[in-house]
Chain A
């Protein structure tokens, strides 16, 4: 997403303002360069699906909604929009997908997102230079923000098995950028983490290390 062409555009004030408004911009900064696979592996061994907790010598402990809220500043309370989200997250996207995209299938490759993001950013810049901030420029900017957010949740909250694609179903949540902040991203991310831990805990450690990209949520 960040290259010589797009970085100067991402330094513009409109970009920051639009992204901050979604309350997801923190995701850019809360990722670690370095994932300690052995550490995660040691914890996976102590994960118990039936209690959704780690069993350690001093008793049980687990990641709570409160942890997610403080660690990531992600929203954990529910609102109207969350119902739709709870029902459709992780499920067979089906109709939802068809609404969002008709041609690209159920997943976007990150490489594809990078390409259309760049095109979008450059086009809006070109139009802005020529005609000022028109409605079309605003539309393109919002589109660029949507693509960027999709990429961001794809590499952070909802990491896919292959870690190269993201489910297009999330795009639906970015349709109206003004309400993105209202979704319960935190609750969804926690449920996702529990599910991945359940899966990983059924494997042995050697297999887990191959599987670990999944846990990088």
Chain B
């Protein structure tokens, strides 16, 4: 029996990756969310997964899935802490501002990671900073505009993202159209 935090996270956010059935004994007010889902028996080859991820668009993603779960696990502001996490002698960037949609906000174009968590920070400073995490953490009010439909990004975000990253793994025979954020006018109508 091994637990996979990553796997639980995938099931939670990407509907196509988990079995449609849920564990029948699951009770929202009692159990951790990880217990709710049942893995798919598998999609076969690794390439199938790559294809699935390449074709993902916003309709297959649940950005902020914990609405019903808030009674048991209220939102904690420390989740919005930005900067370095320390793990022994390693330091790891934690930047919730890059995934604002997971916090129900409109995703904005991002600062360079080096600005958010400067590499010259030493381990002592990191510990000190995390001790006072809430002093450095934005309040939910400071997160920006609420995403009414849960998936919106600021104008130009997706173009900016494709300029800086190459999110596709397999070059398809037929060109895959770049997923555009839904037009606000259409969604609001």
Question: B34 and A72: CB pair below 8 A?
Answer: yes
Question: A51 and B95: CB pair below 8 A?
Answer: yes
What DSSP secondary structure best describes chain B's contact surface?
A: mixed
Taken residue by residue from 56 to 79, chain A's Cβ proximity to chain B (1 for < 8 Å, 0 otherwise) reads as 111111111111111111001110
Among residues of A, the one whose C-beta sits closest to the C-beta of B72 is A73
A104 interface contact, C-beta 8 A: no
Instruction: Select B9's contact among A42, A71, A76, A216, beta carbons within 8 Å.
Output: A71
Q: For the complex formed, measure the closest distance between the CB of A165 and the CB atoms of chain B, giving whole angstroms.
A: 15
Taken residue by residue from 1 to 35, chain B's Cβ proximity to chain A (1 for < 8 Å, 0 otherwise) reads as 11111111110110001000000000000011111
Interface size on A, residues (CB 8 A): 74
B56 interface contact, C-beta 8 A: yes
Instruction: Select B5's contact among A61, A63, A92, beta carbons within 8 Å.
Output: A63
Max chain B C-beta neighbours (<10 A), residue from A86, A156, A189: A86
A143 interface contact, C-beta 8 A: no
Q: With A and B bound together, what is the CA distance between A193 and B45 in angstroms?
A: 25
Taken residue by residue from 63 to 74, chain B's Cβ proximity to chain A (1 for < 8 Å, 0 otherwise) reads as 100100100110
- Mark B residues whose CB is within 8 Å of A: 1-10, 12-13, 17, 31-35, 39-40, 42-46, 48-50, 52-58, 61, 63, 66, 69, 72-73, 75-76, 78-79, 81, 85-90, 92-96, 98-99, 101-103, 107, 113, 127, 130-131, 133, 151, 153, 157-158, 161, 165-169, 176, 178-179
Closest CB pairs A-B (n = 4): A90-B88, A91-B88, A31-B3, A42-B49
11 A–B contacts, CB within 8 A, in A order:
A31-B1, A45-B169, A61-B13, A65-B76, A65-B96, A68-B5, A87-B88, A87-B127, A90-B89, A197-B6, A205-B46
